[in-house]
Amino acid sequence: MPELPEVENVKRSMERLGSVGQEFAQVELLSPKLRTQLKASLKKQLPGQKIKKVYRRAKYLLFETDDFVLLNHLGMTGSWRALKAKESREKHDHVVFNFRSGLVLVYNDPRRFGILEIFDRDKIDQIKWLSSLAIEPWDKDFNGDYLFNKTRGVKSAIKSFVMDQRKVVGVGNIYASEALYRVGIRPTRPAGRMTRVECERLAVEIKNVLEAAIQAGGSTIRDYRNSEGELGGFQNHFLVYGRDGEMCGKCKALIRSKFLVGRNTYWCPKCQR
């Protein structure tokens, strides 16, 4: 469910809930595992720790405390919510974080593809989930030259390149189609066949589409919500995603879709070459 814009919005809503500065109290583990085993150390180590910072890296959400880092990936269906009435538990709630102030944050995840793990704070750079991620899209080095150099000799489709978190971070199935449409590149184009100018434009449009989606609160197709329960709005601005059979807004050709890289992919056959 969540790509970078959604995770960024979860992060911002977490800050608005006042999570920074909160001191952990009891932690309740309701399930044995998400994508990975839920460790008992969550219950033992977090109480007494204060959240110093909440931040995002790629599609990961991180809570930094005095001594630890709580790492979270939302998988396809992960979500957070703040409890108002006590004991308002729902199906697929997996972990309950009680704070000393009375705030309660619950992690819910029907498909359990998410990750919730704790690491020593001085070992952040050893976290395997983060070790091979590419630079952030807003890093000064993320530009046309970067994409041009990384794509040289790559025969696989540009769409799979853009979705490869080791090459480009934060772009998933929605924003891959949207970014490539904006640049006028067909998703099936071999990555190594991108010109330098096209790489330049792709770097710009990846940032543009992610930025626009962040500003719109992310995309809600079925069930995405930020931690304050708010829905996203960028689904109303999709130019190609989910619009196969509809007219392209630029040229009136019909938008097509095809299964590619294991995911449905959308593009305009006339505007994208």
Nearest-approach distance from CB 112 to DNA, in angstroms: 5
Question: Judged by CB under 7 A, does residue 150 bind DNA?
Answer: no
**Does residue 263 carry a catalytic annotation?**
yes
- Which of 83, 122, 88 is closest to 99 using CA atoms? 83
Q: Distance between CA atoms of 3 and 171, rounded to whole angstroms?
A: 6
Q: Distance between CA atoms of 148 and 165, rounded to whole angstroms?
A: 16
Question: Judged by CB under 7 A, does residue 56 bind DNA?
Answer: no
* Catalytic one of 2, 5, 137, 187: 2
Question: Judged by CB under 7 A, does residue 55 bind DNA?
Answer: no
Of positions 96, 129, 200, 208, contacts DNA by CB under 7 A: 129
As a residue count, the chain comes to 273
Question: Judged by CB under 7 A, does residue 91 bind DNA?
Answer: yes
Q: Which helix (H) or strand (E) holds 214?
A: helix 196-215
**Does residue 230 carry a catalytic annotation?**
no
Q: Which helix (H) or strand (E) holds 211?
A: helix 196-215
Nearest-approach distance from CB 49 to DNA, in angstroms: 26
Q: Distance between CA atoms of 122 and 85, rounded to whole angstroms?
A: 36
**Does residue 2 carry a catalytic annotation?**
yes
Amino acid letter, 230:
E
Question: Judged by CB under 7 A, does residue 137 bind DNA?
Answer: no
154 versus 204: smaller Cβ distance to DNA: 154
H-helix segments, 29-138: 41-45, 128-131
Q: Which residues pair with 79 in a beta bridge?
A: 108
Per-residue binding letters, 71-90, with DNA (x by CB under 7 A):
--x-xx--------------
What does the angle CA 72 – CA 209 – CA 18 come to, to the nearest 5 degrees? 40
Q: Which residues pair with 64 in a beta bridge?
A: 53, 69
Question: Judged by CB under 7 A, does residue 172 bind DNA?
Answer: yes
Do residues 217 and 231 touch, judged by C-beta distance below 8 A? yes
C-alpha dihedral (33, 35, 37, 42), degrees to nearest 10 = -90
Question: Judged by CB under 7 A, does residue 233 bind DNA?
Answer: no
Of positions 120, 223, 237, 246, contacts DNA by CB under 7 A: 223
65 versus 173: smaller Cβ distance to DNA: 173
Question: Judged by CB under 7 A, does residue 112 bind DNA?
Answer: yes
Of positions 84, 140, 222, 252, contacts DNA by CB under 7 A: 222
Residues of this chain that interact with DNA (CB under 7 A) are: 1-3, 6, 33, 35, 58-59, 73, 75-76, 91-92, 110-113, 129, 154-157, 160, 163, 165, 172-174, 190, 218-224, 232, 259-264
Catalytic residue annotation: 2-3, 59, 263
